[in-house]
């Protein structure tokens, strides 16, 4: 029998592969709690599930159509899963006003997700997107 901690880690892996990589809306809806809060959303941005979807579908995926997620490690305790990962892709679309450069990029990420009833309830995270933006703008 799989432990709750392993089940929670599997939910996060599924989200990363089916939602972030593949853009699967049905998986997104299945994996998001109705009261989801993204504590890492930029000031003034939608902190709910729709804001999270917009980040992937209207910001990252158009800029990096070959977007992939590499999960390096996961730690789980109680209802929290921490994931150290990288989002990679080739910059072939406009990203926050920066025209395509054709460069391969890696955005390093550390996420903490609270899983409630097999769904994302809360998210905290840090990433190197600001550094990547600076590098692309300097191109």
Nearest to 37 by CA among 129, 109, 110, 113: 113
Topology (CATH) of 4-137: Nuclear Transport Factor 2; Chain: A, (3.10.450)
Give pLDDT tens digits for 13-44: 999 999 999 999 999 999 999 999 999 998 99
**Confidence check: pLDDT of 135 > 90:** yes
Write down how long the chain is: 139
Domain-wise residue ranges, the chain: 4-137
Beta-strand (E) ranges in the chain?
32-38, 68-77, 80-90, 104-116, 119-127
Predicted TM-score of the model (pTM): 0.94
Query: What is the average pLDDT value for the chain, to the nearest integer?
Result: 96
Q: How confident is the model at residue 138 (pLDDT cuts 50, 70, 90)?
A: confident
Q: Which two tokens stand for residue 114?
A: 């609270």
Q: How confident is the model at residue 139 (pLDDT cuts 50, 70, 90)?
A: low
Q: Which two tokens stand for residue 46?
A: 């939608």
User: What's the CA gap between 78 and 125, in Å, rounded?
Assistant: 18
Q: How confident is the model at residue 2 (pLDDT cuts 50, 70, 90)?
A: confident
**Confidence check: pLDDT of 128 > 80:** yes
Q: How confident is the model at residue 5 (pLDDT cuts 50, 70, 90)?
A: very high
Give pLDDT tens digits for 86-114: 999 999 999 999 999 999 999 999 999 99
- 82 within 8 A of 112, measured Cβ to Cβ: yes
For the four alpha carbons of 122, 71, 3 and 23, in that order, the dihedral sign comes to positive
């Amino acid at each position: 029998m799989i432990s709750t901690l392993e089940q929670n880690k599997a939910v996060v892996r599924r989200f990363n592969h089916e939602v972030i990589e593949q853009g699967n809306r049905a998986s997104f809806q299945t994996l998001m709690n109705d009261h989801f809060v993204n504590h890492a959303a930029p000031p003034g941005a939608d902190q709910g599930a729709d804001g999270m979807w917009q980040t992937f579908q209207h910001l990252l995926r158009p800029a990096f159509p070959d977007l992939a997620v590499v999960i390096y490690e996961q730690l789980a305790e109680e209802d929290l899963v921490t994931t150290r990962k990288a989002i990679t892709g080739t910059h072939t679309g406009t990203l926050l006003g920066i025209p395509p450069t054709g460069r391969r990029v890696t955005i390093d990420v550390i996420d903490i997700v609270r899983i409630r009833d097999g769904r994302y309830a809360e998210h905290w995270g840090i990433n190197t997107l600001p550094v990547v933006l600076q590098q692309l703008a300097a191109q």
